[in-house]
Amino acid sequence: MAEAIDWDWIGRHGDDIAAATLAHLELVGAGVGLAVAVAVPVALAVRNRPIGATVASGTATVLYTIPSLALFAFLIPVFGIGKTPAILGLAVYALGVLIRNTVTGLRGVPAPVLEAARGMGLSRRQVLYRVELPLAVPAILTGIRLATIETVAIATIAVFVAGGGLGELILTNGIERNLFVTPIVAGTVIAVCMALTLDLLLVGVQRIVTPWSRRIATRPDEAHG
Partner 1 sequence: MSLLADTWTAFTENEGWERLSQHVRLSLVALLLAVTIGVLLGIACSKGGPFGSFAIAATGLIGRTVPTFAAMALVIAFTSIGFWPAVVGLTALGIPSVLLNVATGIRGADAAAVEAARGMGLTPTQVLGRVELPLALPLAFAGLRSAAVMIVSTTALAGAVGAGGLGVTIIAGLSNNQTDVLLAGAIPVTLLAVVAEGIVLAAQLLTTPKRLRRARRQAQLLGRSQ
Q: Which residues bind partner 1 (CB under 8 A)?
A: 1, 4, 62, 65-71, 73-74, 76-77, 149-150, 152-154, 156-157, 160-161, 166-167, 170-171, 174-175, 179-181, 184-185, 187-188, 191-192, 195-196, 199, 222-225
Residue 56 Cβ vs partner 1, minimum distance, rounded to whole Å: 18
Those residues whose C-beta lies under 8 Å from the C-beta of residue 162, and which sit 6 or more positions away, are 81, 82
Kindly tell me which of 40 and 92 has the beta carbon lying closer to partner 1: 92
Kindly tell me which of 67 and 121 has the beta carbon lying closer to partner 1: 67
Q: C-alpha 62: how far from its chain's center?
A: 17
Q: C-alpha 139: how far from its chain's center?
A: 14
Residue type, 62: V
Kindly tell me which of 40 and 96 has the beta carbon lying closer to partner 1: 96
Kindly tell me which of 140 and 161 has the beta carbon lying closer to partner 1: 161
**CA nearest to 41, candidates 160, 138, 128:** 128
CA 181 to CA 111: how far, in whole Å? 56
Residue 175 Cβ vs partner 1, minimum distance, rounded to whole Å: 5
Residue 4 Cβ vs partner 1, minimum distance, rounded to whole Å: 8
Kindly tell me which of 128 and 175 has the beta carbon lying closer to partner 1: 175
Residue 77 Cβ vs partner 1, minimum distance, rounded to whole Å: 5
Q: 144 and 126 in contact (C-beta within 8 Å)?
A: no
The torsion region of residue 178 among left (phi > 0), alpha (psi -120 to 50) and beta comes to: left
Q: 181 and 135 in contact (C-beta within 8 Å)?
A: no
Residue 73 Cβ vs partner 1, minimum distance, rounded to whole Å: 4
